[in-house]
Amino acid sequence: MRVRKSAALARGARSAKCKAGVVLELLRGTDLESTSRNYGVTTATLSQGRDAFLAAGAEGLKIRQ
């Protein structure tokens, strides 16, 4: 039996720092389905978080002149 990495994630108490950590796991190649099971959230929630993280990061990289 696998133990969830964070009881806080399973309960829904997700800080921005915690969410970023999970998204970074995904971006490093961790499987979406296993990450979903480990943290007790849906794959859709993880995908939405990943997409939002990437969109915000792209905005931060724009060069202002």
Token pair 């800080």: residue: 15
Give the range of the structural domain holding residue 22, as residue numbers without chain letter: 1-40
Residue type, 15: S
How many domains would you assign to the chain?
Answer: 1
The predicted model scores a pTM of 0.72
Over the stretch 19-57, which tens digit does the pLDDT of each residue have?
Answer: 999 999 999 999 999 999 999 999 999 999 999 999 998
> What's the pLDDT score for residue 27?
96
| 25 in Cβ contact with 36 (< 8 Å) | no
> What's the pLDDT score for residue 63?
74
**Mean pLDDT (the chain, rounded):** 83
Q: Is the pLDDT higher at 16 or at 65?
A: 16
Domain annotation covers residue 58: no
Residue type, 25: E
Domain annotation covers residue 16: yes
Does residue 8 surpass a pLDDT of 50?
no
Q: What whole-number distance in Å separates Cα of residue 13 and Cα of residue 10?
A: 8
